[in-house]
């Protein structure tokens, strides 16, 4: 039976003053207003004919036997700002997840919009936003969206995206309208593994430090840390795996979209790149990204292996040893294509590509060789059918004696000096936070203790490409390649409404790929075309808000939707650094370069052709200024001409010049390269053994070490490299005797 995830600590009401909240609510109401045919306060009034037309558009893509007309009326009449839950989660976002700069900027804007001078500057009107009629507030949003000055377009994106995300995730009627089940149909819970976590006793003094010691300390329980733990513990080394996050047993999974964003992901589900045009998604839970990813298990391609070997000066990437490491992790997780059943979205991609003469293929899945028909794995896999770290490598490590510590936020690596140019890592320190008195994370009754974890042989960092560089910098390491060269596999999303019902949240998420466009520059930079997660709160907010009526119709038709990503192997790169005002918070500077933007646009063009040849009724991409393409009632040739006209007018300029840096919404679920591996400290952050240059005993085993972008989901590559690094540590610390157990 599904267990309910308890509510985390409520946000303080002081996150916004009441006046600030009323200003925010006035704009949120303009984004998601009550739409009615009769007059009412703060309503968007449509004629009876317009209301019926909207209901008809929605009704064409819902289940007639399950959706009644009064539910359509209720849905259209729903206002985001009227919901207490909407307010609560907006305040949670501002309190816990917005960075200090974003908080300060938001409150400044809200204050300015509430006085005559500020309103005049920001809206061209002397009346505060809260006193303006709904139509005027909506006009302001449209003016911001079309403004020449990027600042105003940024205001438009910030307010519309926040309102849309949290309305979708808190709406009491959208799920009913779509007949979207909040847990998978016919879901059954797997047994899980009975993890045991070290509990630190209370102390009477805040200065007391709890000391724990092992041969090896691993910071991070995700895909790479788990592999390293299994190898090292199997060789007879004592291991402690520590993670800032917590374990959730199968009976809590999948969580709701709201609960998952706060309990399974870093920073509430979204890390915004500086400038707000790029959203990064990364897991933060016991098992890391392997708990919330989509099972895609592609190995690094030959051309990229050769490039990595050349860039890094390390022959490992083209060696049989690397292939053996990749094969070993795949074997443990039962990676294969043998039992895949493609859902509607993946079928559209494969068949549409075939009709256009492109090549689609199945994506191997880490599901133990069995079918896994779950579209909710983004929210955690309660069936245990996905064989991520919590089902494989972490249990293996536990059986070999590894100890586990959840709720430990590592703040620093400590060293002893061994020579003028070298320091040996000896321990890490940080803060441990217990579960609450109800035995759940982030609930009342938690307590904290300062903790030191001493590793007598090695300290391994597996915190991910956004966290590891910040920890290294905070520990006093100054190599310029730490935090540099960040690769993100930027994507833009295409969505389409199909004539038949797709129930796109049903079935395995990413089981197909089209790779025809993966080498657009002759250097193996290009795009892969893949399916994306189709949970409403993750898919719909990618698309620009074009108006309240249009938005509600678009969301209400998602039962017939399919969605895809154009994913670039990026040639551009970014930087990870620590927020100057909040210790431990990672910040990211990254702009999609023109070449990568052209490649992504080329992928969107191909995706549009794929869905159109499959009969799509409507096509949208996540770029401002590009209107939807809507199928008419013409002949096949006329509709093909309609597609070509739309592509020529709106997409061809993007293919030529790249997606606009300030008006396209990019996303990333892959982070790599921010502590890259190489054969010299002049060109890299870690050596070929994963050891941080200028140190002894300190290793990085996560995707930070990638010499460049992988071009495929980084899970398998990262796990293979982690296995190779761990094997090397065993050979140095245990000797050849340890090899038989690997």
What residues act catalytically?
Answer: 670
Q: Are 332 and 716 a contacting pair, CB within 8 Å? A: no
- Say how far apart CA 573 and CA 709 lie, in whole Å: 9
Angle at 303 (CA atoms; ends 299, 306), nearest 5 degrees: 100
Three-class HEC string of 112-157: HCCCHHHHHHHHCCCCCHHHCCHHHHHHHHHHHHCCCCHHHHHHHH
For residue 631, how many other CB atoms are within 10 A of its CB? 17
DSSP per position, 283-302 = B-STTTHHHHS--B-PPPPH
Q: Which stretches of 424-565 are DSSP H helices?
A: 468-474, 536-539, 548-556
- Say how far apart CA 427 and CA 442 lie, in whole Å: 27
Q: Are 611 and 619 a contacting pair, CB within 8 Å? A: yes
Q: Are 489 and 567 a contacting pair, CB within 8 Å? A: yes
Burial (CB count within 10 angstroms: exposed 0-12, middle 13-18, buried 19+), residue 397: buried
Q: Are 203 and 709 a contacting pair, CB within 8 Å? A: no
Helix (H, G, I), strand (E, B) or coil at 546: coil
- Say how far apart CA 91 and CA 406 lie, in whole Å: 27
Closest listed residue to residue 7, CA positions, set 97, 88, 103 = 88
- Say how far apart CA 35 and CA 82 lie, in whole Å: 13
DSSP 505: T
Burial (CB count within 10 angstroms: exposed 0-12, middle 13-18, buried 19+), residue 273: buried
Q: What is the 3-state composition of the chain as percent helix, strand, coil, each rounded to the nearest 5?
A: 40, 20, 40
- Say how far apart CA 236 and CA 242 lie, in whole Å: 19
- What residues contact 672, with CB distance under 8 A and at least 6 apart? 465, 486, 487, 488, 489, 703, 704, 706, 709, 710, 714
Q: Is 287 left (phi over 0), alpha (psi -120 to 50) or beta?
A: left
209-219 and 448-461 beta bridge pairing: parallel
Interhelix angle 636-646/594-613, rounded to 10 degrees, is 170
- Say how far apart CA 543 and CA 565 lie, in whole Å: 12
β-partners of residue 668 are: 280
Angle at 630 (CA atoms; ends 625, 633), nearest 5 degrees: 155
């Amino acid at each position: 039976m599904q267990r309910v995830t308890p509510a985390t600590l409520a946000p303080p009401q002081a996150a916004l003053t009441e006046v600030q909240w009323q200003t925010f609510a006035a704009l949120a109401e303009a984004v998601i207003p009550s739409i009615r045919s009769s007059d009412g306060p703060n309503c968007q009034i449509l004629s009876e004919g317009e209301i019926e037309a909207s209901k008809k558009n929605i009704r064409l893509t819902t289940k007639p036997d399950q959706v009644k007309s009064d539910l359509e009326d209720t849905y259209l009449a729903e206002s985001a700002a009227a919901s207490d839950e909407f307010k609560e989660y907006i305040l949670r976002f501002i309190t816990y997840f917005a960075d200090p700069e974003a908080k300060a900027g938001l409150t400044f804007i809200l204050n300015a919009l509430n006085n005559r001078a500020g309103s005049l500057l920001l809206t061209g009107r002397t009346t505060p936003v809260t006193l303006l009629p709904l139509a005027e507030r909506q006009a302001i949003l449209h003016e911001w969206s079309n403004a020449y000055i990027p600042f105003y377009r940024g205001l438009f994106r910030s307010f519309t995206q926040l309102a849309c995300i949290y309305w979708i995730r808190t709406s009491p009627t959208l799920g009913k309208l779509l007949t979207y089940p909040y847990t998978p149909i016919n879901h059954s819970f797997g047994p899980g593994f009975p993890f045991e976590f070290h509990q630190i006793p209370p102390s009477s003094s805040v200065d007391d430090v709890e000391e724990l010691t092992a041969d090896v300390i691993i910071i991070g329980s995700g895909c790479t840390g788990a592999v390293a733990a299994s190898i090292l513990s199997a060789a007879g080394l004592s291991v402690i795996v520590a993670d800032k996050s917590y374990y959730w047993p199968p009976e809590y999974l999948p969580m709701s979209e709201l609960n998952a964003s706060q309990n399974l992901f870093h920073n509430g589900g979204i890390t915004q790149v500086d400038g707000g045009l790029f959203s990064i998604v990364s897991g933060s839970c016991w098992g890391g990204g392997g708990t919330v990813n989509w099972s895609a298990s592609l190995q690094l391609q030959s051309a990229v292996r050769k490039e990595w070997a050349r860039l890094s000066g390390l022959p490992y990437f083209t060696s049989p040893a690397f292939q053996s490491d990749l094969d070993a992790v795949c074997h443990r997780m039962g990676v294969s294509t043998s039992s895949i059943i493609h859902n509607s979205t993946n079928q559209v991609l494969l068949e549409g590509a075939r009709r256009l003469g492109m090549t689609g293929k199945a994506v191997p899945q880490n599901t133990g060789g069995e079918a896994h028909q779950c579209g909710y794995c983004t929210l955690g896999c309660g069936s245990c059918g996905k064989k991520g770290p919590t089902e494989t490598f972490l249990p293996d490590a536990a059986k070999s004696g590894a100890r586990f510590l959840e709720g430990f936020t590592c703040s620093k690596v400590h060293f002893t000096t061994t020579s003028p140019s070298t320091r040996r890592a000896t321990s890490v320190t940080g803060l441990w936070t217990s579960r609450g008195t109800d035995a759940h994370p982030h609930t009342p009754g938690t307590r904290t203790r300062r903790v030191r974890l001493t590793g007598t042989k090695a300290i391994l960092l597996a915190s991910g490409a956004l966290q590891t560089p910040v920890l290294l910098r905070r520990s006093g390491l100054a190599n310029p390649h730490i935090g540099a060269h960040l690769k993100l596999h930027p994507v833009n999303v295409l969505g389409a409404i199909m004539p038949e019902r797709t129930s796109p949240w049903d079935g395995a998420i990413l089981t197909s790929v089209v790779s025809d466009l993966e080498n657009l520059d002759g250097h193996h930079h290009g795009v892969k075309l893949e399916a994306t997660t189709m949970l409403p709160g993750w898919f719909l907010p990618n698309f620009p808000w074009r108006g309240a009526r249009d938005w509600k119709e678009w969301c209400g038709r998602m039962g017939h939707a399919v969605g895809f990503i154009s994913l670039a192997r990026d040639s551009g790169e970014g930087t990870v650094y620590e927020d100057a005002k909040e210790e431990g918070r990672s910040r990211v500077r990254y702009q999609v370069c023109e070449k990568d933007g052209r490649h992504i646009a080329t992928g969107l063009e191909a995706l549009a052709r794929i869905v159109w040849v499959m009969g799509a009724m409507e096509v949208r991409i996540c770029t401002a200024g590009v209107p939807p393409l809507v199928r008419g009632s013409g002949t096949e040739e006329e509709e093909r001409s309609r597609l070509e006209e739309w592509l020529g007018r709106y997409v061809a300029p993007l293919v030529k010049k790249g997606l606009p840096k300030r008006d396209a919404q990019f996303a990333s679920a892959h982070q790599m390269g921010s502590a890259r591996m190489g054969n010299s400290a002049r060109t890299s952050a870690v050596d070929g053994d994963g050891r941080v240059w200028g140190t002894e005993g300190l290793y990085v085993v996560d995707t930070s070490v990638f010499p460049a972008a992988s071009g495929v989901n980084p899970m398998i590559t990262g796990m293979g490299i982690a296995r190779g690094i761990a094997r090397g540590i065993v050979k140095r610390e245990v000797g050849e005797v340890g090899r038989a157990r690997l």
